[in-house]
Every structure is written in structure tokens, then in C-alpha cells.
Structure 1
Amino acid sequence: MRQAMQKRNKQIAGFSLVELMVAMVISLFLSAGLFAMFTMSATNVTTTSQFNQLQENGRIALALIERDVSQLGFMGDMTGTDFVLGANTQIPAGIVPNDCVGAGANNATLPNNQPSHFRRLWGYESGVSADFFACLNNVNSGTDVLQIKRLIGPATVTPNVNTRYYMAATPNQAIFFVGTPVPPVLANARFWVYQHHIYYIADDGDIPVLRRRTLSVNNGMANEDQLVEGIENFRVLYGFDNDGDNTADSFMPVQNVTNLMWDNELFQRLVALRIFVLVRATEADNSYTNNTVYRLGDKAIAATGDNFRRKVVSTTVVLENPVLIR
């Protein structure tokens, strides 16, 4: 009986102090390893998520701008022809409210009667160029602004949306008008939606955002769309053809584009645009320090040791429509 009790006591005896300490040390090493793996996994998830976000935001920003730029100069049956008020062009009575008027003698939303080509395209670098849009007061310094005017295809049979501007066009005549159930009478004309866009970058709190001003009848150019978050910089290089083969021989920043070049009054003609976008993560990652220098065409931008990941995306757009016929 006594021997049986002793045997049972031995069977139910706990760990010794040494065994407990060894077990605790092993547990600590296992816990430390698991924590390191968890931290590494969390860091990898953050890194992968931010890189995916940068790629996607950059792709969307370029797609939006590229779609507009690729159709630059499209004016229906008047493509390549200048607008001359009183001769081949009529505009509605009154002016566009809250208009954004750019540099040059003829650079409002609609053509005017100044003896100068109507500008379908114009741009500047905020805080650097001498000229700017007075309608924009919150553009981030050192970022480009791009203005595009064109028609939206295909032609419409019923130009009756009263918040839109339209253009009736034949090869010889153009009439700009406000959407109405009764469009203007112009023999053999087709009707097109008229569009005026301005792309620029301004902050929303501490997040830079690609924005766009758009045209409407009642509000003019005061309509603002927030397009893509995290777009920190935007650079455009303008490609000019110098020898008449319709291929860009040189690309230059906006500071080098003269008034004569904007108005297509020289032999040089605008035939392509190179667009660079610097995308920044919307949230900082304190485990990452960014000291990279990013190049946007002719311009270098340093990250200055902050905790935001960035990526440059770019594209070259060949213009399909002549701004003005040679």
C-alpha cells in the first residue's frame, strides 16, 4: 500500500524549478520569434499595399489626363480651322460666369474677337511662371497646370442638356450655344458637346490631390472635381516638330514655350506631350525613410527624408488632331 502511494505521488509531481526556467526561456525565444515574424509580415503587408496604391493611383491619374490630351484639338468639322468671330464663328450672348482666362489675347473658355488664334491648349508652372489663372488660388507651388479645350465625340442628335455648352459645326461654320430643345439652324451641321478642362494639384488637408475644373452653364468654370489622392507633382513636356514630318524633334518644359508657339504662329508645331506624375502614399510609414531623388523629365524632386513612399509614372501622348492646320 505504501509503495503504491509513493509511486502515485511521483506520477503527479510537478516540474522542478530548473525545468520551469528552461521552459520559460524557450517560450520567450518562441514568443520573440513569433513577434518578429508578425512585425515583418505587417511591414511587408504595408509595403505591398502602398506600392499597389501608388501604381493604381498613378495609372488612374495618367488615364484621365491622357484621354483628354489625346483628343486635344478636336473641333468636329472645324478641326484645324481657326475661329473668327463674325466670319466663321458665332458665340452665345453674354459671357461665361466664373471664367478661367489664361494668358494670351484669346484664351478664355470661348473664342473672342481679338486678332489672335484661339488657344486650345495652355499651361504654366505654379509659383514659377509669370502667367497664371486668377481663378485658381490654391495650386501647389512647383506643380504644372494644364488647360485643354475640345469637343466630346461622338456627335449628338439631341443637344438639349441645359447645363452644357455645345457647338454646331460644318467645315466652314461654327456656332457655340447653350443646350436647348431648339438648337441653332445651320445647314448640314453636326452637334457636339464642348468641353473646357483645367488640371492642377492642390492639397486636401495634408494630402495632395489631382483636381480638375470643368465647364457648366450656370457655374462657368467654378466646378471642381477631386480626381485622385496622393498626386504630389505633375510635369508636362511639350513636343514640337521643327522639320514638318509631324514627329516631335524636341520636348521642352512650359517655361520654354513662347507665345508664338502656343498660338502655332511659327513653323514649329505642337505634336506630342510627355506627362510625368509623382505619386505619394496617402499615409506615412514610420518604418521607412525616403531619401530618394525623383526625376520628372527635366525636373528633379528630392523626398527630404520623410516617411512617405513615392513613385513616378509617365506617358507620351501623340496628338491625333492638328491644333491648327499648317
Structure 2
Amino acid sequence: MRRVPGFTLTELLIAMLLGMILMTLTLTAFSSLSRSARQTQQLAELQQNAQLAMSILQNELTNTGFWGGRSAPQLAASLTLPEAPAGDCVEAALDSGSFPQPAQSFVTLYARTIGAGRQLNCLAGAISQTELLQIKRLLGQKTAIADMRQNRFYLESGWQHSRFVDSNSPGLTAEYDYFPYQHLVFYLQQQRLDGKPIPVLMRKRLSRNQAGQAVISTDSVLDGVERMHFEFGIDADADGQLDYQLTTEQMSAQLWQQNNARIISLRYHLLLRARQSDPNYINQQRYDMGAHRFVAPGDHYRRLLVSSTIFFQNAVL
């Protein structure tokens, strides 16, 4: 009897089995590579965001305490001031807002824990139990009158003279120095990314609109900042040396006003979270942020804690 060439049923079954084994190995390897790639991508994202966040705070906190050669800008309150912006960021009974006012405190560095309701009269929807940071400072670089920007305010500074001005103010003269002025508030707020909530570092800042009016603008700075806490270094005897550190909750109104003691440093703790979750990762870690603790709720987000201290070089001037 003539034999027909081909495969037997047994050979086909063996071939199918080997094919399934190879496919399983391939899928397993692909899944492992995919998990590894996702982990690498998220860790790189967290590292990049950490560098960006530290750079932002370093840039924004530099020159804190510098007021164009004066110890404080209160002298400017005796002259004509720009009109305060609508919805100015101000802590009632402690601070005068964007510009100093006669017989009122002008707090240039301030933080508080977010509670219920509006914060600083200008924040709504900030993440509870995190902290906000308010900064008022000069950028430290003199600006020629011809180079003044329309959207900024400046401090005009001279011997026993200072006033807040803009590019359209009358009486600008080369006799005085002009420094760009900033009033900033950093805080955290939940937004949505691809339909999912994500914590975002936000910024309020003083600027001028096209009509020349002072306004408080809002912009998103960095996605994925989940927690933010601060500690302040106090020089209690005006010798330029750090005597002790206090958390935001431990700071008093007298310390914020810096009448008998100076704030010469700030230590910040930022907890960053990946933008996307990883279903193959479970986070139950504890993150220590000074006096604060955060325990991950067993979710699928990778996190990275960054901390650093900034000393204010001009704080003792």
C-alpha cells in the first residue's frame, strides 16, 4: 500500500504543544519587558519632576529678604501705592496683601496648613492638610527704565526712598534703582488627567493686565505633586546663625512679621506621584516629611520624596 507523505496526528499535537510553549514564553517575556519599561519610564519621570520642582523653588526663593538695599519695603507705604488687585492674596489680621499699607504688617514669607474654605482670600479647592507658601520678594537684578515690562511691578529704591511703580508710573528717573517685584503663592490642587484626578502644584502671582490693572493670575506649574510641607529656620538673636527650626504649624504671627527674629532658611518636603498608575505595582510605603508622615494607601502609584534646604543669603541685611 502506498504511503501518503505528511504529519501524523501525534506529530501535529507535539508541534502545537511546542508552539503554545513558545508563545507563552514570548508573551511572558513581553509582559516582563513591558512592566520593566513602565517602571523605568515612571522612575525617570519622577526623577525629572523632582529636578524641576527643586529648580522652581530654588529660583523662586532666591533673594528672599532682599529689598533693594533696605531692610524692608514699609517705607514705600508712605507714598502713592498701586491699587491692590481684585481678589488679592492676603491673610486677614496679619498681612496687608500685595503692597504694604500704613499701620499694617507686610509679611514677605508665610505658610499655613490648608483647611476648609478659601485660603488667603484667593485660593479655593486646595488639597486639605497640605501647605501653601506665600513669597514676596525682589528678583535682585536691576532693571533699566527702558527695559521695564508692562506686566510687572517694580520697587523704586534709593537713599531713604522706596516706592512701588510700573512702567507707566510718573517720575521714573535714573537717579533710583528699579528691581522687579513678585508676589507668589504656591499650593496644591486636584485636577483631572485622562479622566482621573491628579495632584498639581499651582501658582498664584501678581501681574498687570493690558489695561494696567493689578491682577492675581493662576497657572499650573507641575503635575504629580501630592504633598508639600515646610520647616523654617529661625535666627533669634540677629547674629546671622540658625538657632532652631519650626514647622509651619509652630510658627507664630510675631515670627512671620520678623520683628524680633529673622527667618533665614526654609526646608521643604515634596512628595511626587507618577502621573499614571501601574496595575502591577502596589505602594504601601511610609514617607517621612519632617514632622509629617504619609502612608501610601496601597494604590498603584509610584512616589518619590524630595527634601532640601534653602538659606536666604540676604536675610541678615
Do these two structures clear the TM 0.5 threshold for a shared fold by scoring above it?
yes
The alpha carbon displacement at 1:245 in A equals 4.3
Which residue in the other structure is 2:120 paired with? 133
Identity score, percent: 28
Count matched residues: 309
The alpha carbon displacement at 1:198 in A equals 0.6
Secondary structure in structure 1 of the residue aligned to 2:140: strand
2:161 to 146, 167, 173: 173
Distance 1:187 1:282 in 2: 49
Q: 1:68 to 1:91 in 2, by over 3 A?
A: farther
2:100 to 91, 111, 118: 111
1:63-142 equivalences in 2 (<5 Å):
63-78=55-70, 80-85=71-76, 89-116=78-105, 118-127=106-115, 132-142=119-129
Per-residue CA deviation, residues 258-296 of structure 1 (Å, 9 max, x unaligned), is 111111122x32111101110011111111111111111
Distance 2:159 2:92 in 1: 28
Letter in 1 for 2:125: N
Distance 1:91 1:283 in 2: 51
Secondary structure in structure 1 of the residue aligned to 2:272: strand
Q: Alignment RMSD, CA only?
A: 2.3
Greater Cα shift, 201-210 or 89-98: 89-98
User: Could you list the runs of 4 or more consecutive aligned residues of structure 1 that deviate by over 4 angstroms after TM superposition?
Assistant: none
2:266 to 260, 270, 273: 273
Does the alignment pair 1:54 with 2:50?
Answer: no
Secondary structure in structure 1 of the residue aligned to 2:142: strand
Which residue in the other structure is 1:212 paired with? 203
The alpha carbon displacement at 1:106 in A equals 3.5
Q: 1:72 to 1:35 in 2, by over 3 A?
A: same
1:264 to 254, 258, 267: 258
Greater Cα shift, 185-194 or 62-71: 185-194
Does the alignment pair 1:300 with 2:296?
Answer: no
2:32 to 32, 36, 40: 40
Which residue in the other structure is 2:186 paired with? 199
Distance 1:286 1:31 in 2: 23
Q: 1:119 to 1:171 in 2, by over 3 A?
A: farther
Letter in 2 for 1:137: A
The alpha carbon displacement at 1:187 in A equals 7.1
The alpha carbon displacement at 1:305 in A equals 0.9
Letter in 1 for 2:175: N
The alpha carbon displacement at 1:201 in A equals 0.6
Contact 1:208–1:232 (Cα < 8 Å) also in 2 = yes
Letter in 2 for 1:156: T
Contact 1:213–1:221 (Cα < 8 Å) also in 2 = no
Structure 1: unaligned runs, 5 residues or longer: none
The alpha carbon displacement at 1:94 in A equals 3.2
- What TM-score does the superposition give when structure 1 sets the normalisation length? 0.87
Secondary structure in structure 1 of the residue aligned to 2:74: coil
Does the alignment pair 1:161 with 2:130?
Answer: no
Per-residue CA deviation, residues 72-100 of structure 1 (Å, 9 max, x unaligned), is 1121122x2351356xx524353333311
Contact 2:87–2:121 (Cα < 8 Å) also in 1 = no
Contact 1:162–1:217 (Cα < 8 Å) also in 2 = yes
The alpha carbon displacement at 1:248 in A equals 2.3
Per-residue CA deviation, residues 129-167 of structure 1 (Å, 9 max, x unaligned), is x99411101111011100111112321112543322111
Contact 2:114–2:130 (Cα < 8 Å) also in 1 = yes
Structure 2: unaligned runs, 5 residues or longer: none
Distance 2:215 2:47 in 1: 30
Letter in 2 for 1:216: S
